[in-house]
Structure 1
Amino acid sequence: MPFLGQDWRSPGWSWMKTEDGWKRCEASCDDIERNNNFNLHLLNIDDGETFENENCSLPPTKSEKEQLNNTTKSQYFYQEKWIYVHKESTRERHGYCTLGEAFNRLDFSSAIQDVRRFNYVAKLLQLIAKSQLTSLSGAAQKNYFNILEIIVKKVLEDQYNPKLIRDLLSDLSSTLGILIREVERCVLIGNINMWISRLETILLWQEQLMNLQIRLQLGDGPTLCDLPQQMKSNILFRFSDAWDIINLGEMTPSWYSLSEDLHLWKELCKYHFSEKMFCKDLIFTENGHIDWKLMFFTLEKYYPKREQYGDTLHFCRHCSILFWKDSGHPCTANDPHSCLTPVSPQHFIDLFRF
């Protein structure tokens, strides 16, 4: 019984067992062109004969492959947008799933075009830049920087969340600087000149984002500043990022007074941190009230903030498959929805630590 599996070492030949032994089935190019049918003929591998045809295209040369790799800026495409996470060898599957393999299979280049997934992918790239960059394979590293280039172009064109990408590039430039200085102590895939070129590109992106000017499109109708105070306050109470509140408060004096509301910062502390965290050491103002704004930035130094994303990857506990919820996966459970677990960016990294 033949073993059916995805083996990258297989050349894709077909074999037939005869009385004289195993013989390879080779498709005849002449018959395909003449009859447009896949007529097979037997080729005895013991004869040492080679099949030659001038109409058959030759394999690409090394220079052509390098040119193709240099011009390719898209992600490696797979039919399935999910991946089976296995951490040990079994009779059916050998080896284990790596972080780079998952990074290539889950179609992050398409995910960053979705506003719900943009922050999730950017945060994941930031975590990989901090600690897991050298664990990626060569193909995964190339995919990583291609996706990063798409993200930077999107931010420069749409001005969408530039602060998050600035932080990402800052962490990545620091990591690359350390790796280049300590090249003899760590293992880098690729030439050192390639990594220096990547660092120079990142520094150029950082300069472009620092010089980014937010374009405001003002119409003839009412603007954000014309809203009533109650509506402005409701907008601020729906923000989960402290810097969004501060930046909005710099627009006008009325926005500033609303952004300094201690009740607003108290709700923000309750959202990101538990009561046990901020009840240990309270910070008071001169009037004897709790300074919730200063409390928030103090707690931020010691505790992680609550993460909020429009859409995340999901993990099926029954099938051990990681996937985007919209794309789905071939689940065999009776109740597939009961087996799903949202995967945070940090949980994604932890899944591939063996």
Structure 2
Amino acid sequence: MPFIGRDWRAYGEQWTKTDIGSWERSRRLSLSSSSINSNSSLSDVFNALEITDSVSNIRRFNYIAKVVQILFKEKLGELSGNAQRSLFQVIGRMIDMVLKTGDNISLMQRILTQFHSSIKSAYPYYYYIGSAPLWQRHIKMLTRMQETIKQVQANMTETDEDDKDNDSPNDNKLTFDYLPVEMQREVVRRLDNGTDIVNVGMINTNLYRVSQELLIWRQLCLYHFGGDTQNSDNSMLGEKILRLMRKQRNDVDKNNIDWKTAYFKLKRQYGLREVYAEMIHQCQLCKCLYWQDTDHPCPYETLSPSSIPITPRKLVTILV
């Protein structure tokens, strides 16, 4: 019988080998208005963007963690069976990553606690998709994950205590406190959260003085709440900062602003700008989603490519 149709080995098709040994065509995920509901489920997005494998990329870890947190907190009751399975695969890979590196332990503990609370809040009604025994198994699995994270924290604490006990008075170890003030200032300037700056300032007197410098808080305010235009001093401050100054009935003088106080007031009112090392982008020509650092073969090669970053909340809103 003759073969009718295009050979799957034809030029231009990219095929990859799956875990079970079969071959599948590389997928390009499009979120155009005509295909959102019919072709782009959450599990499709996780598979096409390789979310599970991307957990091992430290630049993508926090972005994926934020997506997972939003799903647990707000969308758990709307997830299909395939979405639940994909979510548990991501969580399992995140746990493996934490065990391997020892990083983001507190973040994973918060995620698991949120997931556990979301499931417990449905008892005894279990309005989520699936049976009560299924969600009981989910609870047992999450409990084991939480115990694993707690054990890792306990082991790290014991290791730190052993290191302190074994340190002799003659050991000369370079710590952050021994760095010149100029270097400490450069490190603190690169923190993107005011709470972290305050916590650093509680270490010792020198770091406290560094953490109180208004220039650091001014740069932090401009980063999160400042304007994009640089035509004048006031335009650089941005409308959010100017609105706060007018509300306090103060003259808009950037040299006399209490930037630390202004930061926390603006944070309560507007929230912070989301910062990630790498984000998912959407092509404005073909409407495809792709990771920022990956190549995007847009079919509209003759036009100038353009894309916009997709925040975790926007991604969840689109898909669920």
Counterpart of 1:133 (choices 56, 71, 76) is: 76
CA distance in 1, matches of 2:302, 2:85: 38
Normalized per residue, which structure has more helix?
A: 2
**Which residue identity lines up with residue 116 of structure 2 in the other structure?**
S
Question: What residue is the counterpart of 2:116 in the other structure?
Answer: 173
Q: In 2 relative to 1, CA 325–291 (structure 1 residues): closer, same or farther, beyond 3 Å? A: closer
3-state DSSP of counterpart to 1:83:
coil
Give 5+ residue unaligned stretches, structure 1.
5-71
State the identity %: 25
2: CA distance between counterparts of 1:324 and 1:149?
Answer: 21
Q: CA deviation at 1:336?
A: 6.2
1:196-235 alignment to 2 at 5 Å? 196-201=139-144, 203-204=146-147, 207-208=150-151, 211=154, 213=156, 222-235=174-187
- Aligned counterpart for 1:324 among listed residues 274, 287, 291: 291
Which residue, 23, 30, 33 being the options, matches 1:84? Answer: 30
Aligned to 2:236: none
Larger Rg: 1
CA contact (8 A) 1:81 1:324 kept: no
Alignment correspondent of 1:252? 204
Instruction: Confirm or deny that 1:313 pairs with 2:280.
Output: yes
What residue number does 2:56 align with?
A: 113
Cα offset, 1:295, TM superposition: 4.2
- Deviation of the 1:181 alpha carbon: 4.4
Root mean square deviation, CA, Å: 3.8
Pick which of 320-329 and 308-317 moved more.
320-329
Counterpart code for 1:265: W
Asked if residue 266 in structure 1 is aligned to residue 218 in structure 2, the reply is yes
Question: Is 2:284–2:305's contact at 8 Å kept on the other side of the alignment?
Answer: no
Please, which moves more after superposition, 79-88 or 204-213?
204-213
Confirm or deny: 8 A CA contact 1:87 1:97 kept in the other structure: no
Give the structure 2 partner of residue 19 of structure 1.
none
**CA drift at 1:242:** 2.8
**How far is the alpha carbon of 1:107 from its aligned partner?**
0.8
Count of residues paired in the alignment:
275
The Cα of 1:128 is off from its aligned counterpart by: 1.4
Query: Higher mean Cα deviation, 239-248 or 78-87?
Result: 78-87
Deviation at 1:86, TM superposition (A): 4.5
Matches within 5 A, 1:1-354: 79-80=25-26, 82-88=28-34, 95-183=38-126, 186-190=127-131, 191-201=134-144, 203-204=146-147, 207-208=150-151, 211=154, 213=156, 222-273=174-225, 274-276=240-242, 278-279=244-245, 292-335=259-302, 338-353=305-320
TM-score normalised by the chain length of structure 1: 0.64
Q: Distance in 2 between matches of 1:3 and 1:280?
A: 69
Q: AA paired with 1:245?
A: I
Q: CA deviation at 1:162?
A: 3.4
Q: Give the match's secondary structure for 2:281.
A: strand
Structure 2, unpaired ranges of 5+: 7-18, 226-239, 251-255
| CA distance 1:166–1:280, change in 2 (3 Å) | farther
Q: Cα distance, 1:240 vs. partner? A: 0.4
Letter in 1 for 2:130: I
Q: CA deviation at 1:345?
A: 1.0
Pair 172,187 (structure 1): closer, same or farther in 2 beyond 3 Å: closer
Higher RCO, 1 vs 2 (CA within 8 Å, ≥6 residues apart):
2
| Contact 2:27/2:48 (8 A) holds in 1 | yes
Deviation of 1:283 after TM superposition, in Å, equals 12
Q: Which deviations, in whole Å up to 9, do the C-alpha atoms of 1:232-288 show, x marking residues without a partner? A: 11111111023432343343332233223344233323322231464365599xxxx
What are the Cα deviations for residues 284-330 of structure 1, in whole angstroms up to 9, with x where unaligned? 9xxxx865445434433332210111111121122221122444344
| Cα distance, 1:88–1:181 mapped onto 2, change above 3 Å | farther
TM-score (norm 2): 0.70
Aligned to 2:235: none
Question: 3-state SS of the aligned residue for 2:75?
Answer: helix
Write the distance in 2 (CA, Å) between the matches of 1:302 and 1:227.
Answer: 36
